[in-house]
């Protein structure tokens, strides 16, 4: 079953609109849309020309996107030097096995996610997302987008044929049954269970939560599945979890069908993305990578451009 977003009103809102506007404005001043973009050089014209020539002879491009395309929207990635989460904090993502076995871990996860959700859900697609949409929807030379991101910004951009490899933070699911609920509706449930929890201005994390100390999360209440009383989790692939087999097969099929693989904003560190590169390489598909800094797949690439995606993609849509 799928529960639609619950209607909001002033009686259930946990923060006034004026207060939220102040918090958002303050956050934007501290964390502009370029705050999490790594240092980079301007893109070279000859690199754009090489990529443009490859794209011009392609008719069935598979686009693989990573966290690097969303840094320009204000969402940090994990690994970028100096600006990624690992460079800014000693905290690390929750492991799936810990989420399953520890109520304390689940409480901490959902408390941080609850506080971070208003900001995370407000992020908008940037120039790269809109360019990808144009390549798929309008120009028609890209047939499918596989994204490692859980921010659903491709969906917000209204791009067709998007496979969310690692799921979406915009859904919550039960691990035992087929119950699903939209994340906005789940936010209302959490607000009703935790009326005294306050929104605070903190650095957002790539998966949508914020950093909080133990005192702040103590006593945070989380609901069980209303259908079977099972555990609820975001519909994402946690670190230490596996991509669903049917999704892996769907991606493998798209690699088979494509004539070019275009990688945008991914270091290809995690194997779920790197194996896409390996398959394309084995099938002798030309691979182009646009990413600030080195990637795990550089040796397989016909073209590698170390630049900001937002400086490159618009040129392909002219």
**Residue 318 banded pLDDT, cuts 50, 70, 90:** confident
**Residue 199 banded pLDDT, cuts 50, 70, 90:** low
Would you say residue 68 has pLDDT above 90?
yes
Question: Which residue out of 31, 40, 154, 166 is catalytically annotated?
Answer: 166
Strand 180-182 relative to strand 2-3, pairing: parallel
Percent of the chain with pLDDT over 90: 70
Is residue 315 among the annotated active site residues? no
Q: What is the mean pLDDT of the chain?
A: 85
Would you say residue 97 has pLDDT above 50?
yes
Q: Which residues are annotated binding-site positions for Zn(2+)? A: 174, 177, 225, 228
- pLDDT digits over 115-154, tens only? 989 999 999 999 999 999 999 999 999 999 999 999 999 9
Q: Which residues are annotated binding-site positions? A: 174, 177, 225, 228
């Amino acid at each position: 079953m799928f529960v639609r977003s619950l209607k909001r009103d002033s009686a259930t809102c946990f923060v006034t609109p004026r207060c939220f506007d102040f918090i958002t404005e303050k956050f934007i001043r501290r964390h502009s849309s370029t705050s999490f973009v790594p240092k980079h050089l301007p893109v070279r014209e000859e690199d754009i020309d090489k990529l443009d020539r490859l794209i011009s002879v392609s008719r069935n491009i598979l686009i693989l996107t990573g966290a690097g395309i969303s840094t320009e929207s204000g969402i940090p990635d994990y690994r970028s030097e100096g600006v990624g989460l690992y460079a800014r904090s000693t905290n690390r993502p929750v492991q799936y096995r810990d989420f399953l076995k520890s109520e304390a871990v689940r409480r901490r996860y959902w408390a941080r996610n609850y506080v971070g959700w208003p900001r995370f859900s407000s992020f908008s697609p940037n120039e790269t997302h809109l360019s990808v949409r144009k390549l798929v929807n309008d120009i028609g030379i890209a047939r499918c987008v596989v994204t490692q991101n859980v921010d659903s910004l491709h969906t917000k951009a209204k791009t067709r044929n998007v496979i969310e490899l690692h799921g979406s933070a915009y859904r919550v699911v039960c691990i035992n049954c087929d119950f699903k609920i939209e994340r906005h509706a789940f936010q209302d449930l959490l607000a009703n269970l935790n009326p005294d929890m306050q929104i605070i201005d903190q650095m957002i994390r790539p998966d949508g939560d914020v950093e909080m100390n133990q005192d702040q999360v103590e006593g945070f209440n989380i609901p069980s599945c209303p259908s079977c009383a099972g555990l609820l989790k975001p519909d994402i692939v946690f670190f230490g979890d596996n991509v669903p087999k049917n999704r892996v097969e769907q991606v493998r099929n798209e690699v088979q069908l494509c004539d070019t693989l275009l990688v945008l904003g991914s270091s290809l560190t995690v194997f779920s993305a790197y194996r896409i590169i390996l398959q394309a390489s084995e099938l002798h598909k030309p691979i182009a990578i646009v990413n600030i800094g080195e990637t795990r797949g550089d040796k397989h690439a016909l073209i590698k451009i170390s630049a900001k995606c937002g400086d490159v993609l618009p040129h392909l849509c002219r």
